[in-house]
Amino acid sequence: MSADDNRITLTIVSSSGDLEDEFPVKQKIQALKTSVMGRLNIDPDESEEYQLVYDGDPLASGKTLEELDIPDGAELVLEPEPEVI
């Protein structure tokens, strides 16, 4: 990613299908998750029940892609939050 380029390409993998697109590096994970859910026909109102995971680690909803050092070309997994027993 160049200094002038403030977007990265991500692949979002989910049980409802996959999505590849460019996203702003300053976008917070919560906003990204809600946007992607709507495009994958998953009710965005249920976004609190889902998490985005990169390399096995859940991503903090209040952080940006840039703050989390998510690289261009990364694959993120959209999955239900684990149940707390």
Note down pLDDT in tens along the chain; length 85 residues. Answer: 444 479 999 999 999 999 999 999 999 999 999 999 999 999 999 999 999 999 999 999 999 999 999 999 999 999 999 877 7
Which pLDDT score, from 0 to 100, does residue 1 have?
43
Q: What is the pTM of this model?
A: 0.89
Question: What is the structure's pLDDT at 83?
Answer: 79
Amino acid in the structure at residue 50: Y
What are the distances in angstroms from CA 18 to CA 6, 23, 42, 83, 85? 23, 15, 12, 24, 30
Q: Which CATH architecture has domain 7-80?
A: Roll (3.10)
Degrees, nearest 5: CA angle 85-38-22: 110
Confidence at residue 24, expressed as pLDDT on a 0 to 100 scale: 98
